[in-house]
Copies of this chain bind each other. A is one copy, B any other.
Amino acid sequence: MKPTLQAVADAVGVSRSTVSNAYSRPDQLSATLRERILDAARQLGYPGPNPTARSLRRGFVGSIGVLFTSQLSYAFTDPFAVRFLAGVGAAAERHGTSMLLVPLPPAVTDARRAVENAAVDGFCVYCVADEEWALDVIRQRGLPFVSTAARDDAGADERFVGIDERAAARSAAAHVAGLGHRRVALIADSVLPDAPAGPLALAGVDQVRHPTTRGRLSGFADAFAEVGLNWAELTLVNVPGNSRPAAAAAIAGLFDQPAPPTAVLAGSDVLALGVLDALAARPAHDRPPVSVTGFDDVPEAAAAGLTTVRQPAEEKGRIAAELLLDPPADAAAGHVLLPTALVVRSSTGPVPRS
Q: Which A residues form the contact surface with B (CB < 8 A)? A: 2, 45, 47-56, 61-63, 71-73, 75-77, 82-83, 85-87, 89-90, 92-93, 96-103, 105, 110, 113-114, 116-119, 140-142, 303
Contacts and interface: CB of A to CB of B under 8 A. Distances in A.
A275 B83 CA distance: 24
Given A48-B116, A72-B99, A98-B118, 7 more contacts: A48-B117, A48-B141, A51-B118, A73-B93, A76-B83, A92-B101, A99-B101
A82 B90 contact: no
Contact of A63 (B75, B110, B119): B119
A54 B52 CA distance: 9
Contacts of A303: 303
Contact of A99 (B2, B71, B100): B100
Contacts of A45: 140
Q: Which A-B residue pairs are the 10 nearest by beta carbons?
A: A76-B86, A93-B103, A72-B89, A47-B141, A73-B90, A51-B119, A99-B101, A48-B116, A52-B56, A72-B93
Contacts of A100: 63, 98-101
Nearest to A66: B101
Contacts of A105: 96
A142 B2 CA distance: 7
A22 to B, nearest CB: 14
Contacts of A51: 116-119
B96 A86 contact: no
Contact of A73 (B52, B86, B142): B86
Contacts of A96: 103, 105, 110, 114
B61 A75 contact: no
Given A100-B99, A140-B47, A89 B117 contact: no
Contacts of A101: 89, 92, 98-101
A161 to B, nearest CB: 18
Contacts of A97: 103
A92 B325 CA distance: 26
Nearest to A103: B93
Given A86-B77, A101-B99, A102-B98, A61 B52 contact: yes
A73 B56 contact: no
11 contacts: A2-B142, A47-B116, A47-B140, A47-B142, A48-B140, A54-B117, A56-B56, A75-B89, A76-B82, A100-B100, A303-B303
Contact of A52 (B75, B92, B119, B140): B119
A96 B77 CA distance: 19
A102 B89 CA distance: 9
A324 to B, nearest CB: 15
A86 B75 CA distance: 8
Most chain B CB atoms below 10 A, which of A45, A56, A97:
A56
Contacts of A49: 116-117
Nearest to A48: B116
A93 B77 CA distance: 15
Given A86-B77, A102-B98, A119 B47 contact: no
A44 to B, nearest CB: 11
Nearest to A90: B73
